[in-house]
């Protein structure tokens, strides 16, 4: 099968799954009814195999602020906020949970990654009680284009384009473009200009 046929078949499948996803997108008012949106996002996460990949991306195309059909979201992964943006040719592995985030083109995210909505700490009311999500304290976390986010990483701050986040790392401070960050909390070990310089001991 030549490349043109593969592209044609893919376009047909994308169209079919957009039609299948339309009713549940409509029930969520195309993402505006967030509790219904999240219920269907979690339901779509449980559909296995290639049909699941097509269904998830079709649903998110219809309900997210922005989502490219050319991307792929694997089994068990879901996006918790309809305000998210997913660029072109993005790959999201299995069992990921993504909050209010913007993901740049061609970024690849390994399995079991969490990208949390950027809230430094839980808000508290005047009596010191934790405020829930109804307080709307969420901020968007941006992942630039052409990034690699390793398995099991937790990302709570912006990651610049072309950066690599090591497996199991916890990102609590912004990572500049072209950097490699590893550890918990994540530390920059290399940038696009070479190894990170450190000051004299002591």
pLDDT tens-digit readout, 150-185: 999 999 999 999 999 999 999 999 999 999 999 999
For residue 112, whether the previous peptide bond is cis, meaning omega lies within 30 degrees of 0, is no
**Cβ burial, residue 16 (10 Å; 0-12/13-18/19+):** middle
d(CA 106, CA 113): 16
Given a cut of 50, whether residue 198 has pLDDT beyond it is: no
Instruction: List the structure tokens of 85.
Output: 């943006």
Given a cut of 50, whether residue 200 has pLDDT beyond it is: no
CB 120 within 8 A of CB 137: no
Model confidence over 53-100: pLDDT tens digits? Answer: 999 999 999 999 999 999 999 999 999 999 999 999 999 999 999 999
Which pLDDT score, from 0 to 100, does residue 104 have?
A: 97
Which pLDDT score, from 0 to 100, does residue 98 have?
A: 97
Given a cut of 80, whether residue 28 has pLDDT beyond it is: yes
DSSP per-residue codes, the chain:
--HHHHHHHHHHHHHHHHHHHHHHHHHTTTTTSHHHHHHHHHHHHT--HHHHHHHHHHHHHHHSSEE-TT-EE-TT-EES-TT-EE-TT-EE-TT-EE-SEEE-TT-EE-TT-EE----SS--B-TTSPBP-GGG-----EEE-TT-EE-TT-EE-S-B-TT-EE-TT-EE-S-B-TT-EEETTTTEEEEETTEEPP-----
Model confidence over 99-150: pLDDT tens digits? Answer: 999 999 999 999 999 999 865 555 566 776 766 555 556 789 999 999 999 9
Mean pLDDT of 30-34: 96
Complete domains list, the chain, with CATH: 3-121+138-192 (2.160.10.10)
| Dihedral sign of CA atoms 126, 129, 132, 137 in order | positive
Residues acting as catalytic residues: 122
Instruction: List the structure tokens of 126.
Output: 């005047």
Nearest to 58 by CA among 101, 88, 14: 14
Backbone angles phi, psi at 41, to 5 degrees: -60, -45
């Amino acid at each position: 099968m030549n490349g043109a046929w593969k592209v044609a078949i893919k376009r047909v499948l994308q169209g079919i799954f957009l039609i299948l996803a339309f009713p549940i997108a409509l029930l969520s008012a195309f993402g505006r009814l967030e509790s219904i949106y999240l219920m269907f996002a979690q339901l779509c996460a449980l559909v296995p195999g290639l049909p699941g990949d097509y269904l998830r991306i079709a649903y998110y195309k219809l309900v997210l602020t922005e989502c490219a059909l050319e991307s792929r979201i694997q089994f068990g992964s879901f996006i918790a906020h309809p305000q998210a943006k997913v660029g072109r040719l993005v790959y999201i592995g299995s069992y990921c949970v993504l909050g209010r985030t913007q993901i740049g083109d061609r970024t690849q995210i390994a399995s079991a990654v969490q990208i949390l909505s950027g809230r430094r700490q839980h808000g508290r009311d005047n009596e010191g009680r934790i405020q829930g999500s109804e307080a709307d304290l969420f901020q968007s976390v941006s992942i630039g284009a052409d990034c690699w986010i390793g398995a099991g990483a937790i990302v709570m701050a912006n990651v610049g384009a072309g950066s690599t986040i090591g497996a199991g790392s916890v990102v609590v401070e912004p990572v500049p473009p072209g950097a490699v960050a590893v550890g918990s909390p994540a530390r920059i070990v290399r940038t696009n200009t070479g190894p990170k310089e450190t000051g004299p001991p002591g």
